[in-house]
Structure 1
Amino acid sequence: MASALAEVGISDAAHLKSLLKETKNPVVTIYDFEKQNRINLVSLNPALPLLDLHNVTRNEFYQSVFDQMKLVFERRIDDFSKKSKEDRNDALLKILDKAFPLASDPLLQPFVMRMLSKLESIPQDKLEKIMADPVLYQNAPIDVRRHIWLSKPDLFRDEVQELVKQFVDDVEHQVSNFVVDSCPVLKNPREKRANCKILKKIVGMTSGNKDLYDNAVLAIKTAFTTTQLHAQPFVASLRSGLLMALHDSEFKDILRRDEVYKFAWCMDACIRANAIDEKQRRELTTALNGIKKSETIIDAALILFDPSCVNLILLELETELRQILKVQGFPKGSEKIDFLMRMLRIGTSAPEMAVENSTSEPNLDRSIISRLLKRV
């Protein structure tokens, strides 16, 4: 495969190798090759023998020149940022028209990618060429790939699903090696988010873009349906994890349209407090009723299927039942028991709801409260 330099008519190492295979006088061939491809400045010629006397090889010299040019070019790119949007884009596009064919060259690739990342809108033909080259695509910075993802949402969702798989593998490893008193799944949610590299990466990929956020949520839901049951709670935790990670970041404005935002935020506060007080119960009930009407109950189910949520609900159930037993009451008369059982029912129904693509809240078997809990 021809190198990026060869494709634009510049001799490269492969060309020299080809010449050496055919020549009978390699010394002359190397001399001619160097003469044709060196820096042709009249003022430089007298200095080259001096460099030879100091044992400075041509490779060292050219590398030094390249390093200096690199610094100059980086400053020039930064200077473009000071121009108006229109002038900056015009200037960068003019350079890119000549530089982009060299994007696959390892030495020049960083410059090309840096210029692309400065553009408000990258021309589609350049995005197509990046997508067509797997190595170039993988080396492209997120700022550049984000332009691709906006035009190719399927590609973005595939990447998020791969990250979800990595997340599940990481959590399963942690769970299988946890110390009894410090289960990583049940840590403070804010602490978990701060330490989760996968979640940070997904947040960085969305970068506050509503379309990418929606596609990230869709990817999490898709991954949830294809994940084995024992690992589904971990995937479910990413639904609220992503939402709350964005809430903690500078991109929280994109969450206003998310139907489960208030519910997830309130539930997160309860988990951090390790309790659900009366005010929070009313807020969660109101939010849950609103979600039910908007037919996004599966999102609420994923939030409630998070191991931290299930753990809190069960702890609250135990506490409430103990209080009822103290006064010799009955569970079926407790509004909080009804509320907690409703949330537990929704959360534990998440796998079935995801498969069936359900938009309605699952019914709660009242006999669980009137018969089973009565015997606890």
Structure 2
Amino acid sequence: MSLRNASSANATTSAAASGNAGTSGGASATAGTPTTGTGLEVLGIPGGSFLQEALTSCSDPLQAIEEFQLENGILLPSLRPMMPLLDLHGVKRLDFHISVMEALRDNLLAQISELGKKEGKEKDKKLKDLLNKSFMVVKIKALRPVVMAVMKHLSHVDEKYLKVLVKDKELYDDCDTVVKRQMWKDNQSLFGDEVSPLLSQYIKEKEVLLFDQNNLTNLFFLPSPKVRRQGEVVQKLTHMIGNNVRLYDMVLQFLRTLFLRTRNVHYCTLRAELLMALHETEVQEITNVDPCHKFTWCVDACIRERTVDVKRSREIQAFLDGIKSGQEQVLGDLSMILCDPYAVHFLATSSLKILHNLVATEGLPRDHHILLLLLRMLALGLSAWQMIDTQEFREPRLDSQVVTKFLPALMSLVVDDQVRSLNAKLPNDERESALTIIEHSGPPPDAFQAYISESSV
């Protein structure tokens, strides 16, 4: 069972079908890339051009076809007496040869698959030899799966083959993603053409979900991080990247550029979701080299559990405090991860929960270490666009008066709401009720109004 036998059967199939075969481009036999013709002639098998010449130069076309079939048919003496039996049953020679060719091809594909499961240099040597002998027939559709299967199981495909594939859209589209990755890593524009529609689809899906007027309930923040990562776009990007660090870096650069150009914070969401999707599939070649991995993992766990416990707050604090001189550029990626709307929503709602708790316990915001960390993270996330735009990677200083003046003012408003609510439930006492409403009504404190307009936090 060999590719040559399959090719021979394919040649006879062409003769049985019409006595003529089409031609298409290629490369030389010595280089292992297709030349002009179908590739059969390069293998030493008479193909379409040979048959065409025989038919135009002969006196009896039927005799020429019969001779071609005898010379290039399946070289099995015991089979020839059976051919008239197929004719009696109305089985066309074309159908018979196609079935034989498909059986040979499927058998060869199975053997290639088994070989691909093995490890070591011997495997690659055999696959490279097979690719060198088979690539010249890559333009024959019936035999193309064999060539594609060989390349799929090779750890590295030679550049000479990749150049042929990337120039032919049909061949490129038929390549497995494993092979395409080798083309993409050295061709950023080609990879960008593949990724761009997925990024546009992702942004559109997020905006439809966020601005859906027919939805009376807010479903945008409802799905857990793990559920969101199962989305089509995230899964496709994860598959396209595989364990290739270069492709991962390209995607991150696309996201930074688009975020900078559009200010669309959904690109920040995709930045975080992509890293965590690779974490879940245990692509350690990438997660081990991304300096944001541990930080993103901690933040993701907090969002998933909807709380920040003492242990995780210490891990996040240690990470932010541990950024050394010369490593400040990582702040750009950290700020994008914290600019994710899901992260901002979590940080803001968690801060409000802590404030309500402080009201109940009569505590002060400045004494609550987790609240101060959440505000620090919020300030870093809200500065993401400016930091990437200016390329000045410095953590923004949180205005101390946000903690000493704005938050106490906000807490006073919470107390006013609680007092009015409690007063409404008590028996009517006009004078006492009027005094309570007067004491806990009126405009918000000046500090509250000032910081609402001045501070993004």
Determine if the TM-score, normalized by the shorter chain, exceeds 0.5: yes
Using the alignment, how far apart are the partners of 1:367 and 1:82 within structure 2? Answer: 63
Work out whether residues 186 and 308 of structure 1, in 8 Å CA contact, stay in contact via their aligned partners in 2. Answer: no
Using the alignment, how far apart are the partners of 1:19 and 1:234 within structure 2? Answer: 65
1:3-22 residue CA offsets vs partner (Å, 9 max, x unmatched): 3682433644x9989999x8
Partner of 1:3: 24
Confirm whether residue 188 of structure 1 aligns to residue 188 of structure 2. Answer: no
Partner of 1:96: 131
Partner of 1:105: 140
Q: Which has the larger radius of gyration?
A: 2
Confirm whether residue 254 of structure 1 aligns to residue 286 of structure 2. Answer: yes
Q: 1:164, CA displacement in angstroms?
A: 2.0
Partner of 2:315: 283
Partner of 2:260: 225
Q: 1:244, CA displacement in angstroms?
A: 1.3
Q: 1:90, CA displacement in angstroms?
A: 2.4
Q: 1:374 to 1:29 in 2, by over 3 A?
A: farther
Q: How do 1:264-343 and structure 2 match up within 5 A?
A: 264-291=296-323, 293=325, 294-295=327-328, 296-343=330-377
Work out whether residues 161 and 220 of structure 1, in 8 Å CA contact, stay in contact via their aligned partners in 2. Answer: no
Q: 1:94, CA displacement in angstroms?
A: 2.2
3-state DSSP of counterpart to 2:73: coil
Using the alignment, how far apart are the partners of 1:34 and 1:373 within structure 2? Answer: 95
Q: 1:126, CA displacement in angstroms?
A: 0.7
Q: 1:185 to 1:324 in 2, by over 3 A?
A: closer
Q: How do 1:107-146 and structure 2 match up within 5 A?
A: 107-146=142-181
Q: 1:252 to 1:96 in 2, by over 3 A?
A: closer
Q: 1:182, CA displacement in angstroms?
A: 5.9
TM-score (norm 1): 0.85
Q: Percent identity among equivalent residues?
A: 29
Work out whether residues 225 and 355 of structure 1, in 8 Å CA contact, stay in contact via their aligned partners in 2. Answer: yes
Partner of 1:175: 210
Aligned residue type for 1:288: L
- Gap regions ≥5 residues in structure 2: 1-21, 26-35, 411-457
Aligned residue type for 1:189: P
Q: 1:98 to 1:24 in 2, by over 3 A?
A: closer
Q: 1:252 to 1:97 in 2, by over 3 A?
A: closer
Q: 1:328 to 1:129 in 2, by over 3 A?
A: same
Q: 1:139 to 1:170 in 2, by over 3 A?
A: farther
Using the alignment, how far apart are the partners of 2:209 and 2:62 within structure 1? Answer: 58
3-state DSSP of counterpart to 1:46: helix
Using the alignment, how far apart are the partners of 2:139 and 2:183 within structure 1? Answer: 17
Q: 1:53, CA displacement in angstroms?
A: 1.1
1:221-265 residue CA offsets vs partner (Å, 9 max, x unmatched): 233323x33xx2221112221221122113235322322111111
3-state DSSP of counterpart to 1:250: coil
Using the alignment, how far apart are the partners of 1:372 and 1:114 within structure 2? Answer: 65
Work out whether residues 188 and 272 of structure 1, in 8 Å CA contact, stay in contact via their aligned partners in 2. Answer: yes
Of 83, 98, 101, 1:48 maps to: 83
Using the alignment, how far apart are the partners of 1:128 and 1:102 within structure 2? Answer: 16
Q: 1:84 to 1:375 in 2, by over 3 A?
A: closer
Structure (1 or 2) with the greater helix fraction: 1
Q: 1:362, CA displacement in angstroms?
A: 2.6
TM-score (norm 2): 0.71
Work out whether residues 124 and 155 of structure 2, in 8 Å CA contact, stay in contact via their aligned partners in 1. Answer: yes
Work out whether residues 292 and 361 of structure 1, in 8 Å CA contact, stay in contact via their aligned partners in 2. Answer: no
Q: 1:34 to 1:333 in 2, by over 3 A?
A: farther
1:90-130 residue CA offsets vs partner (Å, 9 max, x unmatched): 22222222311222332222110110112122111111111
Work out whether residues 161 and 223 of structure 1, in 8 Å CA contact, stay in contact via their aligned partners in 2. Answer: no
Deviation larger for 3-12 or 259-268: 3-12
Question: CA RMSD for the aligned pairs?
Answer: 3.2
Q: How do 1:26-65 and structure 2 match up within 5 A?
A: 29=61, 32-33=64-65, 35-36=67-68, 39-41=73-75, 42-65=77-100
3-state DSSP of counterpart to 2:394: coil
1:184-220 residue CA offsets vs partner (Å, 9 max, x unmatched): 4541101211x21222222222322333333333333
Work out whether residues 38 and 139 of structure 2, in 8 Å CA contact, stay in contact via their aligned partners in 1. Answer: no
Q: What is the aligned length? A: 368
